[in-house]
Amino acid sequence: MTKSVETGWNLDNSYTRLPESFFTKITPNPVSSPKLITFNEPLATSLGFSVELLKSEDGAAVFAGNDIPEGAEPLAQAYAGHQFGHLNMLGDGRAMLIGEQITPDGGRFDIQLKGSGRTPYSRGGDGRAALGPMLREHIISEAMYALGIPTTRSLAVVTTGESIIRETELPGAILTRVAASHLRVGTFQFAAGKGSTDELRALADYTIKRHFPYIEDNENRYLSLLQEVIKRQAELIAKWQMVGFIHGVMNTDNMTISGETIDYGPCAFMNEYDPATVFSSIDREGRYAFGNQPGIGGWNLARFAESLLPLLHDEQEEAVKLAQNEISVYPNLFKKNWLTGMRAKLGIFNEEQEDESLIDDLLSMMQNHKADYTNTFRALTLGLPEDTVMSGSEEFQKWHQLWQERLNRQQDSKDSSHQLMRDSNPAVIPRNHRVEEALKAAEKQGDFSVMDRLLKVLASPYDYTAEQADFCRPPEPSNLPYRTYCGT
């Protein structure tokens, strides 16, 4: 017990106070020999942990689920979800929430082990995860954090000392995920599906208290809840579009209520700009293609609204009207966020009617010329339009002239406009080939130095330093499309 307190554990388990259908308490499944592979020291410190104590063997045992810290009440959460449009009963099939860490400044964060063994929601799965995908989540979620995009985070990855069977035998691993919460649209779908308005209300009240306490006294707080979630998702997805992030599996169980990005399975960043870009091997129809993400966000929010109907109004018809009204706000709200973000990428502070066509024209040229998304904005930020693949085209030169005139029309100085661009256009993103290279070295040679170097570069994406130049290059052309996998 003393050891737990010294380490900085300060757990509460508010989730266990929800109606019991929402979770199942779990007895951990110990693994043979836990070994700490990566540990996020700044995150550990911000959560109130002693870095030294957690880095020791004791920490590895906790991150593997072999040792449960004082105050933990491990559980698996129940949830449902539309997977590629089809509603299924899901739940944590390979994850265990060990509790909510209360930080020194009063924050509350879920501490969840992912890959920690079977649960009552595992269906056919083994409850385990492989090292490669867990390191991938570590790299990409930390890169997203550094990019300023709301996200779950990765505190640690441990190997278990056990092999897991996929297409081949792979080293097993567990990732410790930190999240504002793991409440999902699918959690509400699960509650709605059970048909008990009392349980649904308990979940909604819990959510409001945890994430939106400022709406607690609103006249119709459940309608406010819907508005808040719509607002956060519109902001989040606009931010994804700004950096070319493709989530890959925007099922409703992978959409948080807090507005954090969650579930880094098949996600990847786009190189050449093309709204039709899809990386996930199972997304054959392109449902979750880059350009479809905003629309899918709206579809998912409509599912959220449906699940809230019994709380919105006593009369079903009125409830539907209220929900539809809010859902119809989303496209414009998204668009507003998107335009603000794109203006910033072009160094524009104020609004003009023609901005949208200025942006659209650039994007369509980028698509026609197969221009790299990140590097085009990087070149514009650096004042090197000649570095873009479009520079030889008259169309681009004309566009560039119009853009310069647009910048001259605003009151703000050239310097502040340049600074805005630097703050809005990352010089580096986790390029797929760089991520793969780091994972290969880690998996095949047990060499983690490639990953560490990548993590270091990705930690300051807006720095525009000389050392980053190497990481800005897109991959060499290949005949094979890049493919990602989920549930691995």
Report how far residue 118's alpha carbon sits from residue 127's, in angstroms, rounded to the nearest whole number: 4
Nearer to Mg ion among residue 93 and residue 193 (C-beta): 93
Q: Which stretch binds ligand AMP (CB under 6 A): 3-11, 119-127, 195-203, 283-291?
A: 119-127
Residue 92 among the catalytic residues: no
Q: CA torsion, points 247, 253, 255, 256, in degrees to nearest 10?
A: -140
Task: Extract the tokens encoding 152.
Answer: 């779950």
- From the CB of 152, what's the least distance to ligand AMP, in Å? 12
Q: Which stretch binds ligand AMP (CB under 6 A): 118-126, 445-453, 460-468, 476-484?
A: 118-126
Query: Which residue of 122, 227, 460, 468 would you call a contact of ligand AMP, by CB under 6 A?
Result: 122
Query: Taking CB under 6 A as the rule, does residue 85 contact ligand AMP?
Result: no
Q: Which does 91 bind (CB under 5 to 8 A by kind): Mg ion, ligand AMP, none?
A: ligand AMP
Query: Taking CB under 6 A as the rule, does residue 174 contact ligand AMP?
Result: no
Q: Which does 92 bind (CB under 5 to 8 A by kind): Mg ion, ligand AMP, none?
A: ligand AMP
List Cα–Cα distances, 24 to 75, 82, 262, in angstroms: 5, 21, 21
- From the CB of 97, what's the least distance to ligand AMP, in Å? 12
Q: Which residue type sits at 8?
A: G
Query: Taking CB under 6 A as the rule, does residue 177 contact ligand AMP?
Result: no
Can you give the C-alpha Rg of the chain in angstroms? 23
Query: Taking CB under 6 A as the rule, does residue 272 contact ligand AMP?
Result: no
Tell me if residue 110 falls in helix, strand or coil: strand
Tell me if residue 278 falls in helix, strand or coil: coil
98 CB burial (10 A radius; 0-12, 13-18, 19+): buried
Residues 6+ apart with CB under 8 A from 422: 381, 462, 464
Report how far residue 266's alpha carbon sits from residue 488's, in angstroms, rounded to the nearest whole number: 9
Q: Which residue type sits at 297?
A: G
Largest interatomic CA distance in the chain: 71
**Catalytic option among 67, 92, 253, 263:** 253
Q: Give the footprint of ligand AMP on residues 229-268 (CB under 6 A).
A: 249, 253-254, 263, 265
Measure the CA angle with vertex 392, ends 390 and 397; round to 5°. Answer: 80
Query: Which residue of 58, 70, 126, 356 would you call a contact of ligand AMP, by CB under 6 A?
Result: 126
Measure the CA angle with vertex 361, ends 341 and 430; round to 5°. Answer: 50
Query: Taking CB under 5 A as the rule, does residue 254 contact Mg ion?
Result: yes
Q: Which residue type sits at 299?
A: W
Query: Which residue of 263, 274, 326, 372 would you call a contact of Mg ion, by CB under 5 A?
Result: 263
Nearer to ligand AMP among residue 93 and residue 341 (C-beta): 93
28 within 8 A of 116, measured Cβ to Cβ: yes
Query: Taking CB under 5 A as the rule, does residue 424 contact Mg ion?
Result: no
Q: How many residues bind ligand AMP (CB under 6 A)?
A: 17
- From the CB of 120, what's the least distance to ligand AMP, in Å? 11
Nearer to ligand AMP among residue 266 and residue 347 (C-beta): 266
- From the CB of 83, what's the least distance to ligand AMP, in Å? 7
Where do we find the tokens 């004042």? 383
Query: Which residue of 38, 80, 92, 274 would you call a contact of ligand AMP, by CB under 6 A?
Result: 92
Query: Taking CB under 5 A as the rule, does residue 235 contact Mg ion?
Result: no
Q: Which stretch binds Mg ion (CB under 5 A): 166-174, 240-248, 262-270, 468-476?
A: 262-270
Query: Taking CB under 6 A as the rule, does residue 274 contact ligand AMP?
Result: no
Nearer to Mg ion among residue 235 and residue 263 (C-beta): 263
- Alpha carbon 183 to chain centroid distance? 14
- From the CB of 187, what's the least distance to Mg ion, in Å? 12
Q: Which stretch binds Mg ion (CB under 5 A): 111-119, 248-256, 318-326, 467-475?
A: 248-256
Query: Taking CB under 6 A as the rule, does residue 94 contact ligand AMP?
Result: yes
Q: Which stretch binds Mg ion (CB under 5 A): 39-47, 174-182, 257-265, 435-443?
A: 257-265
Query: Taking CB under 5 A as the rule, does residue 137 contact Mg ion?
Result: no
Query: Taking CB under 6 A as the rule, does residue 90 contact ligand AMP?
Result: yes
Report how far residue 31's alpha carbon sits from residue 165's, in angstroms, rounded to the nearest whole number: 15
Query: Which residue of 85, 104, 107, 125 would you call a contact of ligand AMP, by CB under 6 A?
Result: 125
- From the CB of 435, what's the least distance to Mg ion, in Å? 20
Query: Residue 38: which H helix or E strand, with range?
Result: strand 35-39
- From the CB of 144, what's the least distance to ligand AMP, in Å? 17
- From the CB of 329, what's the least distance to ligand AMP, in Å? 28
129 within 8 A of 264, measured Cβ to Cβ: no
Query: What sections of 410-466 are H helices per DSSP?
Result: 414-424, 432-445, 449-458
Where do we find the tokens 């902001």? 235
Task: Extract the tokens encoding 407.
Answer: 């910048």
DSSP 163-210: EEESSSEEEEEEEEEEES---BHHHHHHHHHHT-HHHHHHHHHHHHHH
User: Binding residues for ligand AMP, per CB under 6 A?
Assistant: 90-94, 122, 125-128, 249, 253-254, 263, 265, 486-487
Which residues form the catalytic set?
253
User: Binding residues for Mg ion, per CB under 5 A?
Assistant: 254, 263
